[in-house]
Each structure stands twice: as C-alpha cells, then as structure tokens.
A = this chain, B = another copy of it.
Amino acid sequence: MLKAWLFTLGNEVVQGRVVNTNATYLGRRLFLLGFDVQGNISLIDEVNLVAKYLKIVLSDKPSIIVTSGGLGPTYDDRTLEAVAKASERSLRLDEEALRMIEEKYAVRNMPMTEERVKMAYLPEGAVPIPNPVGTAPGSWLKVGETVIVSLPGVPRELEAMWEGWVEPRIRESFNLKVRLAERIFRVVGVPESSAAKIVKDVLKRYSNVYIKTHPKGHEVLGPVLDVYVLASGGSSEEAGKVADEVVAELVKALTSLGGRITEKPE
C-alpha cells in the first residue's frame, strides 16, 4: 500500500489558535484515494525543526508527503527552505513560478518586491503548482521514491490547488484506479449543530465517504447549509452509487428534522 504523511505547519496550528482543518481535509482526500495515511506532524515555524522531522519521515520512503503552510512572503514562511534542507537540495529562482507571481501582482498594478520574488524560490527540480486563489505557488518535488507536495496554509487556496492540480497529478503519477464521485445539495431550516449529528452517524456506517457542511448565513427562512459529499469506489459507477445512497440518507434525516432541500447551489 502507498504510504502518505502530512506536515501541517504553523505556530497558530500548534498553539491551538486555529483548528487544524487542513489535516482533516488532506487526510480524508488521501485516504479516499487509497493511501495508507500514517500520520500528521504539526510543527511551529522553525526551519531546522521542520527539516529534521521531514528527514526522519523521508528516510521511511513513503510515496507522498504533503505539507501545508509557510509558503507566503513573510520572514517566517520557510517551508520550502526546510524541504530543500531535508532533501539536500538548494533553493533556486524558478522562472515559471516567478511568472505566475508577477501576473498576480500585474493585474492589481502592484510592483514586485523582494518579499514577492521570495515566493518564486523552489527546491531544485521542483515543479511550481499554480495557485488560482492566492499568490504563493505550491511545489511538487520528487525526492528518491517520494513526492513532496507543498501547499499554502489558507484552506481555500490549499483546497483549490489540491482539487484542480495536485489530485489529478497524483492519480496519474501513481496510476490510481480508485474513482471519486461528488454531490452537493442545499438544506434550509436545519442548524449546523443538528446536521453535525446526522453527518457523524452516516460517517460511522460508510468508510469511503467525506462529508462537509458549509453554513451559508442566517437567512429569514432559517439556517442554510450546503452539504458536500465525496465518495470513493473502484469505478465511477460504484463511487456514484455510494454518493447517491449517502445523499439519500442525509436528505431523509434532514427532512425529518424539518429541513427543506433546495436546488443544488451554484
């Protein structure tokens, strides 16, 4: 089985200032793709500490290591330095990454500064990952038998990059047969805390499913939730069947609490 490890980096995560939703998201996505996710290591922003633990995990030769956080323009964003150190490479200015960053700032008529150029330094041999939401590109680096994927810590950026670029590339690189199916629906009139109980109950019975609820604000009609279901299977049909079953169970339970199912959100 293909082993996977996560590194979710940043003082705010380790010191409990924010809940580590990136670890949940990445763990679930990799698990659904069929990886044997062994662990998640969260560390404060210290290059040597991060490099030390990356090196330990690398020596176990997992198929993939995914890091989140520490790719931005500020002085404490040093994840790629740690990746370079752990893999005994140097950082070098990547022309494609630089172009990606320049485009982002050009649109807003903002000049390039030293801090912005810094985000274009990738470990030798890395491929930059486009960031459709923010500015810092990610990094895809093959080190021996391991791929190290580095993504920003902002969940919206990380998720967009994962779904748009990383996951398709993982599928191809590891020749994965597993297929995913996703469904989205909206429910009006059930508070997220009540929905959480239903979701938990369904998750207990389905091992290959990821469910996420997004509250969409408190409207006059009552609370509005968008519910996202992701299921995996050996074929698209199988995954689709599981996703439909899960949606049917969720809809049944939510409507029995007085919820009203509406159009699929855009």
Contact = CB atoms under 8 A, between A and B. Distances in A.
Given A43-B39, A215-B191, A223-B191, A20 B17 contact: no
A25 B16 contact: yes
A15 B29 CA distance: 8
Contacts of A228: none
A26 B18 CA distance: 12
Contact of A31 (B15, B21, B23, B49): B15
Nearest to A203: B17
A181 interface: no
Interface in A1-29: 13-21, 23-29
Nearest to A21: B19
A79 to B, nearest CB: 14
A244 interface: no
> For this complex, into which size category does the number of interface residues on chain A fall?
35 or more
Contacts of A56: 56
A23 B23 CA distance: 11
Nearest to A200: B18
A24 B24 CA distance: 13
A37 interface: yes
Contact of A42 (B15, B29, B40): B40
A192 interface: yes
B15 A37 contact: yes
B49 A38 contact: yes
A221 to B, nearest CB: 13
Given A14-B40, A15-B37, A193-B217, A23 B26 contact: no
Contact of A27 (B16, B26, B49): B16
Interface centre among A38, A203, A217, by most B CB within 10 Å? A38
B43 A38 contact: yes
A56 to B, nearest CB: 7
A3 to B, nearest CB: 10
21 contacts: A15-B37, A16-B25, A16-B27, A16-B31, A17-B28, A19-B19, A19-B20, A20-B20, A23-B42, A38-B46, A38-B49, A39-B41, A39-B42, A39-B44, A41-B41, A191-B191, A191-B192, A191-B215, A191-B218, A192-B192, A194-B217
Interface of A: 13-21, 23-29, 31, 37-44, 46, 49, 53, 56, 191-194, 203, 210, 215, 217-218, 223
